[in-house]
Amino acid sequence: MDDKPAIRIRDLHKRFGDLEVLKGVSLTAHPGDVIAIIGGSGSGKSTLLRCINMLEHPTSGQIAIQGEGYRMRPARGGGLEPADRKQVQRIRAQLGMVFQNFNLWPHRTVLENVTEAPIHVLGQPRAQAIDRARQVLARVGLAEKADTHPIHLSGGQQQRAAIARVLAVDPLAMLFDEPTSALDPELVGEVLGVIRDLAREGRTMILVTHEMAFARDVANRVIYLRDGRIEEEGTPEQLFGDPQSPHLKQFIRSVM
Amino acid sequence: MRNILTPMMMPHRLIMAALALAGLTAMALTMQWDWLPANLPRLWDGLLMTLAMLAGSVVVGFALALPLALFQVMGPAPLRWLSLGFCTVIRGTPLLLQLWLFYFGLGALFAQFPEIRDSWAWPYLRQAWPYGFLALTVSFAAYQGEVMRGAFTGVPHGELEAARAVGMSPWLVFRRVWFPRALHRALPTLAGEIILQLKSTPLVATITVTDLYAVITRIRQTTLLTYEPLLLLVAVYLCLSGILILALRWLENRVPTQR
């Protein structure tokens, strides 16, 4: 195992106005880790995930990606903001984020969605990017849909295309923000199947999810977030088989 | 071609086409058109002037509309208020008034300064068309600034976030996602505005720019005919609108989107 953790978060706080959403969260993901973050709504799961690629700016705390800490400076009106935009862009290009609402770009075809970052952010030659895009699209079962526009795809297909878009840059770590929450129940399986395969491949992932059975199945570590703090963490067997915290016990009962 | 032609073959369309054809035939046979051949060169020049006014003001006006829209969406407060003020004043006053203010106001003002009279620009500034062009451009910019402001704010936030999340710089986000998405959303409105702009161009005839409308007016004065030149004018504007509508619709249909 690499001695540099893929993602290291130390004492992260995030405040929206008077509301403190994260109250000191520390977390380390080593290469190959699949970490599932669970918790009720408003527990700060998504905010935590969005701080990792600076879509949200933490109020205090440190975040380092593969040993490289974001350089931050005090922001106007309190909290922190990135001091070096170029650094943020460079780190973001190595992290792949999959959103709840897919967020594909509807004015481009599926293939163009996938080649966008490799060509325009990483500066890869077009032919090479297209080759790679066709590979990852085949990998998520969308080889046939390369030249269609996203609106002609089902929700499950759109989310798989979004996963392909992330895979195209061969990310250091993948961040999933409730990837199946916006899907019709019958489409959840195909997306979870793709994520499961990627997890087995040894990709580093942090997953915010409501799919407990799935978290138990693919994650090697589960974190239960409650009210902005990590209330309990451990292997899936520990958390789901023998939960300690009364809140977690109740949470598991309510969702499973 | 098929999907353009098929709707044109609907029965009601065929009947309307037949009526139009009958009307045209009646006009050609019963009305007086002998002035037409001799005036064709002047009409052609007038048409070119109309098209130049339209194309120039649409292109330059749209280029000005982008900063106007962006300042209102995300500019610092002074620029935001300035853009908002500009759009409000221009949209709140008649184009004819602006045209006359530019031509009779600015034009007269320029003439008072020897520096301007002696400069390279004077041969242009003493003509009428720069003021017509200016007024049309400013007006188009103000209306389109408003349209694009709405289009920019209407692009779903998540699509921009996805662009940032793959490591795009703010400029790249704008160029690759925000602007093309906003433009596509604005296209139907923009198409209508371009047609409206075409129909605003005859106003420049009031400041002696010889566009198509001015040429027709002169023909009416010399031939003492009332209807024939005006009917020709109707036909030309209709054709221009039709061509513009088809071209813009084709552009819209190139990208299928739900919004």
Asked if the Cβ–Cβ distance from B166 to A121 is below 8 Å, we say yes
Query: What would the CATH number be for the domain defined by A1-94+174-184+201-256?
Result: 3.40.50.300
Asked if the Cβ–Cβ distance from A103 to B258 is below 8 Å, we say no
User: Which tops the pLDDT comparison, B258 or A164?
Assistant: A164
Q: pLDDT tens, A16-26? A: 988 999 999 99
Pick the residue from chain A with its C-alpha nearest to B255. Answer: A107
DSSP bridge pairs for A35: A206, A221
For A1, the 3-state DSSP assignment is coil
Pick the residue from chain A with its C-alpha nearest to B162. Answer: A103
ipTM of the complex: 0.92
Q: Does B154 touch chain A (CB under 8 A)?
A: no
Chain A CB contacts of B259 under 8 Å are 106
CATH 3.40.50.300 in chain A: give the residue spans.
1-94+174-184+201-256
Residue A186 confidence (pLDDT) above 50: yes
Asked if the Cβ–Cβ distance from B165 to A149 is below 8 Å, we say no
| Average pLDDT of span A167-187 | 93
The pLDDT score that the predictor gives to residue B124 is 86
The domain locations on chain B are 40-253
pLDDT tens sequence for chain B (259 residues): 456 566 667 788 888 889 888 988 888 888 888 899 999 999 999 999 999 999 999 999 999 999 999 999 998 999 999 999 999 999 999 999 999 999 999 888 888 888 888 888 888 888 899 999 999 999 999 999 999 999 999 999 999 999 999 999 999 999 999 999 999 889 889 989 999 999 999 999 999 999 999 999 999 999 999 889 999 999 999 999 999 989 888 888 876 654 4
Confidence of residue A1 (pLDDT cuts 50, 70, 90): very low
Task: Name the residue facing B162 among A89, A93, A103 (closest C-beta).
Answer: A103
Q: Does A181 touch chain B (CB under 8 A)?
A: no
Pairing of strands A34-38, A205-208: parallel
Asked if the Cβ–Cβ distance from A107 to B161 is below 8 Å, we say no
Residue A28 confidence (pLDDT) above 80: yes
Tell which CATH classification among 3.30.465.10, 3.40.190.10, 1.10.150.20, 1.10.3720.10 matches the domain B40-253: 1.10.3720.10
